[in-house]
Amino acid sequence: MSKIYLLETVYEAAIKRLEFVRDNCDRVVVAFSGGKDSTIVLALAHEVFDEFSVYFWDKESNMLSTMEFIRDTFDALPPSIKPYWFCLPFKMRNALSVYEPYWYCWDPEKRDKWIYQPPERDYVITDEGFLPGYDKDRHNLYKLFAERISEGGKYRTAILVGIRTDESLNRFRAVTKNPQLGKPWISKTDAENCFNAYPIYDWDFADVWTYIVRNRTPYNPAYDKMFKAGLLKRNMRISQSFCDVGKKGVPVVREIEPESFDRWMQRVAGMNSLTHIDISEVLKQAQKVNYDFLVQLYPENVRRQVERRVERSHTLDPNSEEVVRALLNNDLRLKRVNRKANVEQVKEKYKDL
């Protein structure tokens, strides 16, 4: 579907969306990450709402400058805005090592190795009991928190999310696939009577920075460091992950924020390898490496995991170059393998987007 250009600006459209949320929802929450997009959503929320909540799920893998920016942002919030900063143990993917493909952020047994200590603030939550039913091995914090804010669905709650659809088709799908309340930019969540709203879904990169400059909005200083390091705009990301995609931006941190990189290296297995290995060169070897040979190099538990995924799949060919490339890139879940697809089936699936 092509873009449809209107006479109103994206800023005016975003304000109208937030006014709709204000008029049709009982409670509002801003999902904050410290990135530029969630920073914009928080700033816009200040313009429209008198009261709301804001939360940050800290996965202990931020750059120090990001953590400090979020802390300063939360400290500056007026009393009418309720902040929540979660520092709870959680199982995370680690695509940097086949020997430790997972790690737990905020692992109490490794407190002395934490990348940074949680800020000493009343809004920081380190007690898992705050969200009854929280499971460090599952991705259920979002649902539990939404249920707490909405009091079990008693109050219609909107969670404002800073996703922009021009970044990828997956993000476009996330925004539009389950429209709610008669709006294509509102989607349902797993929590009863709770919805995700995407007020800046149609903004582009230039729109975000235009707003920041014109309104002198404080933003994460990591972006300035990335810009000075010569990163392309698509690579200027504030990531809390060492997964298959997030690790691409890891090596540059050694240059722009060496103290953060040093702490990551002490905390997460395989981190230092990125400074010695050219991933692009490794991936070029896909045609020369045999799948059977490659999996025999893995620890037994990892090898069994990969073999099970291949055996259970009807589309993965272990002898294909795509599978070997994924494994060379430590994509042990084989999530990013390019599978052959029927063009007509794809068109039918996405015809309504």
Please state the domain extents for the chain. 10-205, 278-353
- In this prediction, residue 122 carries a pLDDT of 97
- This prediction has a pTM of 0.86
What Cα–Cα distance (Å) separates residue 337 from each residue in 230, 274, 334? 29, 21, 6
How do beta strands 183-188 and 194-197 pair? antiparallel
- In this prediction, residue 274 carries a pLDDT of 67
Residues in the chain, pLDDT under 50: 1, 343
Contact present, 198 and 159 (Cβ < 8 Å): no
Contact present, 247 and 264 (Cβ < 8 Å): no
- In this prediction, residue 349 carries a pLDDT of 59
Backbone angles phi, psi at 236, to 5 degrees: -85, 85
Q: Pick from 205, 150, 167, 196: which is nearest to 40 by CA?
A: 205
**pLDDT tens-place string over residues 298-311:** 899 999 999 999 99
**pLDDT tens-place string over residues 29-40:** 999 999 999 999
- In this prediction, residue 270 carries a pLDDT of 86
- In this prediction, residue 281 carries a pLDDT of 72
Q: Domain 10-205: give its CATH architecture.
A: 3-Layer(aba) Sandwich (3.40)
One-character DSSP codes across 161-230 = ----GGG-HHHHHHHHSSEETTEEEEEE-SSTTEEEE-TTTT--HHHHHHHHHHHT----THHHHHHHTT
- In this prediction, residue 285 carries a pLDDT of 74
